[in-house]
Amino acid sequence: MRRDIWFFLFFLGLMFFSWPLMGIFKGSLIPYLFIIWFVFIALICITAIFSERDEGER
């Protein structure tokens, strides 16, 4: 399950940082890129913390 989450995150990131999704936000591309970048890092962080907790419990 955890392994799948990393793949899911990776492909989610790929989607967010590529065309055509970036094309939708072409009017405010700079804020879009930085906000999505930060959110993506936060998602990795949260997943890593939960994953560590999960492993600790096991």
Partner 1 sequence: MFPTWILLLIIFFYLLLLFSVAYLAERKEMQGKSIVANPYIYSLSLAVYCTSWTFYGSVGKAANAGLSFLTIYIGPTLMAALWWIVLRKIVYLSKENRITTISDFIASRYGKSLTLSALVTLVAVIGITPYLGLQLKAIMTTFSILSGRPEGSHFAGWFISLMLGVFAVIFGARRLDASERHGGLVFAIAFESAIKLIAFLLVGLFVTYGLFDGFGDILGKLHVSRYASLTKLGEGSNVSFLEWTSLTFLSMMAIMFLPRQFHVAVVENYSPGHIKKAMWLFPLYLFLINIFVLPIAYGGLLLGGTQANADYFVLSIPLNQGYPILALIVFIGGFSAATAMVIVESLALSTMVMNSLVMPALWSMNAMKGFHGVILNTKRLIIIGCVFLGYVFAVHIGDFYSLVDMGLKSFEAVTIFAPAILLGLYWKGGNKKGAIAGIVAGFSVWIYTLLIPALARAGVIHKGGLLNAIFGSSLLNPTALFGLEGLDRWSHSLFWGIFLNLFFFVAVSLFTKQSDAETRQAITFVDSYALPHLSHPFRPKNVSEIEGILEQYIGRAEAREAVDGFLRKNGLTREMTSGDWLGKRPRGYSRARSARRSAPLFSRTRQRSRMTRSSGYRIQSGRSRRVSGCRARSSPRRTGSSPCSRNSARTSSRAFPSGSRRWMKRFALPTGTRQWK
- Say how many Å lie between the first and final Cα of the chain, rounded: 14
Work out whether 1 is an interface residue with partner 1 (CB under 8 A): no
Work out whether 58 is an interface residue with partner 1 (CB under 8 A): no
Q: Measured in whole angstroms, how far is the alpha carbon of residue 12 from the centre of its chain?
A: 6
Quote the CA–CA distance of 38 and 8 in Å, as a whole number: 17
Work out whether 14 is an interface residue with partner 1 (CB under 8 A): yes
Binding region for partner 1 (CB under 8 A): 2-3, 6-7, 9-10, 13-14, 17-19, 22-23, 26, 29-30, 33-34, 37-38, 40-42, 44-45, 48, 51-52
